[in-house]
A and B are shown apart, each in its own frame.
Chain A
Amino acid sequence: MRYVDEYRDGALASRAAAAIAAEADPGRHYALMEFCGGHTHAICRYGIEDLLPPNVSMIHGPGCPVCVLPIGRLDMAIELAMRPEVILCTYGDMMRVPGRDRTSLMKAKAGGADIRMVYGSGDALRVARDNPGREVVFFAIGFETTAPTTAVALVQAAALNLRNFSVFANHVLTPSAIQAILDSPEVTATGTVRVDGFIGPGHVSTIIGSAPYERFARDYRRPIVVSGFEPLDIMQSVLMLVRQLNEGRCEVENQFSRAVSRDGNGKAQALVERVFELRDSFEWRGLGTIPDSALQIREEFADWDAERRWQLRYVPVADNRACSCAQILRGAKKPLDCAIFGTACTPENPMGSCMVSPEGSCAAYYLYGRWRDIPQQAKAG
């Protein structure tokens, strides 16, 4: 695969690893948080941690859209799906996330709900056109990356006057989450979580650009490198962060320059701006309620807003007590620190959202990396 294999080259990886080892000061420790679940997935899948010196450690952040959606919002989707007139269209990852009382969309489907797995908002629109007698709801989740495609669907639905289509919008915003982490008690008051720098979410920045992170670098004194998702991208970003920290710089640098500019994609931003506005507040799993951290559908498109159409009401639901998803999402715990990791909570039988999506920390760690913590296994291999 051209333009992909080049970024997975083992020889180049060794060179990058040697460069990081050479530049990392043995007298200090570098704690770097990758915000985005896509990075977490790549780090675990390609075994990147094997290539880093012991004093450079990665902290998995909250950037998985499946993981940060609180149970209450999922329950709203399940409630919608159970309506006999509704076809709920959802991204596949959401199907297995446990809701209240360990229900899930998959269980609702087995119970008779008409739930269709789609690959994008366009598929949901097609389902609506093909089923004029039914109410088709698109369960929209994701960061700034997927918000424009949801916006396109809403604009098209309005243009076609497609009255049996609506969107249950759950789009959330990255900068708010980064700020929530930097303001969290673990980082500020107790200092139990040390984050020296961030690997910034590349896909999100293709839309919003790198500029929105500049204030964090400046105000919180944390360097940020916006990174691509291939393993070499991540290695190079780690090196760039190590260099900034060594030099005492706190800047936003763009490793993913083949896709990201400082200002992002203006057309996509305008589209999102036209369709969505900021929600006053939105609850995130693990980060609590954050003002201005999510998008809601504007009045102009109210007819296609599932929350208004069915007068859905958000009821917060506490996470399972045994589950440490909340702390893991803030970087305050690692998957292995959770009492039920790998026992009561596995990908086959997830208790929390982090174990569901392949981009969730626990799932990535369970699927790709758990051998690491069994010393005799490392030896056998």
Chain B
Amino acid sequence: MMQDDRRPFARKLDLKNGQVDMSHGSGGKAMAQLVEELFGAAFDNPLLARRNDQAVFDPPPGRLAVTTDSYVVSPLFFPGGDIGSLAVHGTVNDLAMAGARPLYLTAGFIIEEGFALRDLARIVASMAAAAAEAGVAIVTGDTKVVERGKGDGVFINTTGIGAVPPGVAPSGDRARPGDAVLVSGFVGDHGVAIMSTRENLSFETTIASDSAALHGLVAAMVDAVPDVHVLRDPTRGGLATTLNEIARQSGVGMLLDERAIPVRGEVAAACELLGLDPFYVANEGKLVAICAPGDAARLLDTMRGHPLGIDAAVIGTVIDDDHRFVQLQTTFGGKRIVDWLAGEQLPRIC
């Protein structure tokens, strides 16, 4: 067995100057070394340490939640995070939006030939730290290397498994007319942080990504209001798209109050400059909650009592609407639709 071999690899991985090459994805010794010295060391836990192609564990009590997501962000490192922490937070949050306590993650890496081992190590360390903080174990994984030019540095897929406590069943189809719509904090931070570092768009801002694992906040929320109707994290497509998804799933409309929706001045300014709408800009550490009107005050208080929800706000109401429109009462006094994002948000011409 490998553990019994005192010097399994002739030379240690050169994490300072080395690069990923095709051999690291070949299934041979180079890959074993990468897994051993980089992934295994960083993600160390008893299930992973067995080095099987799968993790075997006893099912926890209650119902299971499972989700998967792939992360293809550019740039890989951005103010407030990187693709590694994002790959953990995103999947943990997808579990948390079922009210689940996240337990295990898998990690699949697709790495481009020539990618610096130093950067890979940085990403892996960030993943490990994010997983430790979220209290989840990365229990199995996969590594593939693609030829130079056929990837964008590194892509990561994570799959997560979590346990849903009894009596908790948030779902996108449970919004009912009269329900309150809440958001956990300022929207648009992540997308603006990413845009500010894009090569052809760099602008000065102190906005950092809001990337964060939300299961702690959710645990407090479902503890206070077990019958929370809907939980969802407004990632790509932003708040607007998420609310439209929920409206469609539940067959309802929504009426939002623009003044109540928290948007940082800097995010609003950056969006203004680029001709973008902050309601469509991505978030990685925010959630939308919908609950019965009688539960709204308690839910809001609970959210504001958690560090990731201190800027939470009630932003609108679910209304009866066969057309499933999400409408916005503007700060200006008029009303408009907040529609699905069509294509991708594009900067204006003039």
Contacts and interface: CB of A to CB of B under 8 A. Distances in A.
Interface of A: 1, 4, 8-10, 13-14, 17, 38, 44-51, 65-66, 91-93, 95-96, 117-119, 123, 126, 141-143, 145-146, 203, 231-232, 346-348, 357-359, 363, 366-371, 374, 376-377, 380-381
B154 interface: no
Interface of B: 200-201, 253, 255, 259, 265, 268-269, 272, 274-275, 319-323, 325, 327, 330-337, 339-340, 342-343, 346-350
B200 A38 contact: no
From DSSP, what is the main secondary structure of chain B's interface residues? loop
A11 B347 CA distance: 30
A231 B322 CA distance: 30
B348 to A, nearest CB: 7
A46 B332 contact: yes
Which 3 residue pairs across A and B have the least CB separation, nearest first? A47-B334, A347-B342, A92-B346
A50 B337 contact: no
Contacts of A366: 339
B317 to A, nearest CB: 10
From DSSP, what is the main secondary structure of chain A's interface residues? helix
B319 A48 contact: no
A95 B347 CA distance: 11
Contacts of B349: 65-66, 91, 93, 141-142, 146, 357, 359
B337 A367 contact: yes
A347 B341 CA distance: 9
Given A50-B335, A51-B333, A368-B336, 14 more contacts: A10-B333, A13-B334, A38-B350, A47-B335, A92-B346, A146-B349, A346-B342, A348-B340, A366-B339, A367-B337, A376-B322, A377-B253, A377-B325, A380-B321
Contacts of B334: 13, 46-51, 231
Contacts of A357: 348-349
5 contacts: A1-B272, A13-B332, A119-B200, A357-B349, A381-B327
A93 B333 contact: no
B255 A368 contact: no
B331 A203 contact: no
B259 to A, nearest CB: 8
Most A-side CB within 10 Å, residue of B274, B327, B332: B332
B343 A381 contact: no
A9 to B, nearest CB: 8
B332 A10 contact: yes
A369 B336 contact: yes
A371 B350 contact: no
A42 to B, nearest CB: 9
Contacts of B348: 38, 93, 357-359
Contacts of A17: 333
Contacts of A45: 330, 336
A370 B337 contact: yes
Contact of A47 (B253, B255, B322, B333): B333
